[in-house]
Amino acid sequence: MTAVETAVETALPAAAPPAAPAPARALRPAVLARALVVLTRPGHAVKNLLAVPLALIDTPVWTGSALLRTGWAVLVFTVAASTIYIVNDIVDRRLDRTHPVKRHRPVAAGTVPVPLAWLLAVGLAGLLLGLVLAGPAVPWWPLVGYLGLSIAYSRWLKHLPMLDICVVAAGFVLRVLQGYAATGAAPSGLLLTAVFGGCLVLILGKRRHELAVAGSAHRPALAGYNVPLTDHLLGLNAALTCTTFLLYLNTDAPLGPWRPVTLAVVVPLGLLAAFRYLQAVLVRQSGGDPIRALLHDRMIVASAVLIGTTLALAELGARYPALLTWIEN
């Protein structure tokens, strides 16, 4: 045991003893195959689909090559994230058995044996390496940083209160940076700050839900949080996210003459979406799955669609003025 691990275990209160391992069960091939797919968390691919292409906002020219490299970066990051999810599920299987929802995950529930889960993780790691070597020539340093940070998180950073949520949010910033590396555009510090703050809001909503529902037994770092603290941090990071994104739109975003109209549309819709998410977390207590909380709220989805459409039209108008002139005529 390293000195860091000893310090972490000394500083944190002892967690509740993990539940007994689930007995191995003989499963039909179709059921086992479905469990292996669930283990990769395909629904979480939306995180990469939303984060990596954000760099296209700052890309001067949308070429077919830039779009191809961005799409390849999304695919590579999706495989990388699935590999990390499997490793985390293997490492956390005993703690997951103490959680009312996570105990149903394939490894924790005993549906997928640990050796088979490791085999799948190794196979995905090989696929990841093949995609990097066979794909477009893209700087992959954000991906390397993400993998290193994720391994450190799985090993011991997840046990350090406050640092744990910052590490998870940094993983999303690295996704956006991979998009910038794929397109060759210059990163915007304001956009990256907005992404970091927005991810902290989603993560804190999840931590708050975990505290209220299951306590800290399944996640030792939760011993460093309580509900009032998460509420304060939610408000702080929501304000940071809205402010930095507004500054980004007002200064860095390539919106040209459409900037005032864009701000007039995006600001109220963005605030409405933020209000609805905070309502979901603080009033409806539905922040356990941030993606579900966002996608199941019609106002948030409608606001996001309108914001995305407005930004796309504004960027098209700034890049190709003749196009909107043709549409108007």
Which three-class secondary structure string do you get for 120-152? Answer: HHHHHHHHHHHHHHHCCCCCCHHHHHHHHHHHH
Asked if residue 107 lies in contact with residue 90, where contact means CB atoms within 8 angstroms, the answer is: yes
Helix (H, G, I), strand (E, B) or coil at 40: coil
Element (H, E) at 208: helix 189-214
Task: pLDDT band for 225, please (50, 70, 90 cuts).
Answer: confident
Of 187, 216, 233, the position where a domain reaches its end is 187
**What CATH number does residue 114 fall under?**
1.10.357.140
Asked if residue 172 lies in contact with residue 199, where contact means CB atoms within 8 angstroms, the answer is: yes
Q: How far apart are the C-alpha atoms of 167 and 200, rounded to whole Å?
A: 10
Domain coverage including residue 76: 33-187
Rg (CA), the chain: 21
**Do 176 and 204 share a domain, yes or no?**
no
Summarised one tens digit per residue, pLDDT across range 267-302 is 999 999 999 888 888 888 776 677 777 777 888 899
Q: How far apart are the C-alpha atoms of 96 and 186, rounded to whole Å?
A: 41
**Do 127 and 224 share a domain, yes or no?**
no
**Do 199 and 154 share a domain, yes or no?**
no
Inform me whether the pLDDT recorded for 197 exceeds 70.
yes
Domain count, the chain: 2
Long-range contacts of 113-117 (CB under 8 A, 24+ apart): 113/24, 114/90, 116/36, 117/39, 117/86, 117/89, 117/90
Higher pLDDT, 232 or 317: 232
Give, to the nearest 10 degrees, the angle between helix 189-214 and helix 163-183.
140
**Do 183 and 298 share a domain, yes or no?**
no
Q: How far apart are the C-alpha atoms of 304 and 245, rounded to whole Å?
A: 14
For CA atoms 125, 130, 132, 135, give the dihedral sign.
negative
pLDDT of res. 236: 92
**Do 143 and 243 share a domain, yes or no?**
no
**Do 92 and 219 share a domain, yes or no?**
no
Report yes or no on 25 lying in a domain. no
- Token pair 């939303």 is at which residue? 50
Inform me whether the pLDDT recorded for 9 exceeds 60.
no
Inform me whether the pLDDT recorded for 201 exceeds 70.
yes
Please give the structure tokens belonging to residue 72.
């390849």
Summarised one tens digit per residue, pLDDT across range 95-131 is 878 777 788 888 888 888 999 999 999 999 999 999 9
**Do 63 and 203 share a domain, yes or no?**
no
Of 187, 211, 244, the position where a domain reaches its end is 187
Asked if residue 132 lies in contact with residue 147, where contact means CB atoms within 8 angstroms, the answer is: no
**Do 269 and 160 share a domain, yes or no?**
no
Report yes or no on 4 lying in a domain. no
Report yes or no on 23 lying in a domain. no
Element (H, E) at 245: helix 227-251
Summarised one tens digit per residue, pLDDT across range 246-274 is 999 888 888 878 888 889 999 999 999 99
Q: How far apart are the C-alpha atoms of 202 and 128, rounded to whole Å?
A: 27
* Neighbour tally for 246: CB within 10 Å: 17
Q: How far apart are the C-alpha atoms of 93 and 14, rounded to whole Å?
A: 17
Of 187, 213, 243, the position where a domain reaches its end is 187
Report yes or no on 9 lying in a domain. no
Helix (H, G, I), strand (E, B) or coil at 26: coil
* Neighbour tally for 136: CB within 10 Å: 13
Report yes or no on 27 lying in a domain. no
Which residues, including other chains, have CB under 8 Å from residue 316's CB and lie 6 or more apart? 323, 324
Per the prediction, the chain carries an average pLDDT of 83
pLDDT of res. 328: 54
**Do 266 and 287 share a domain, yes or no?**
yes
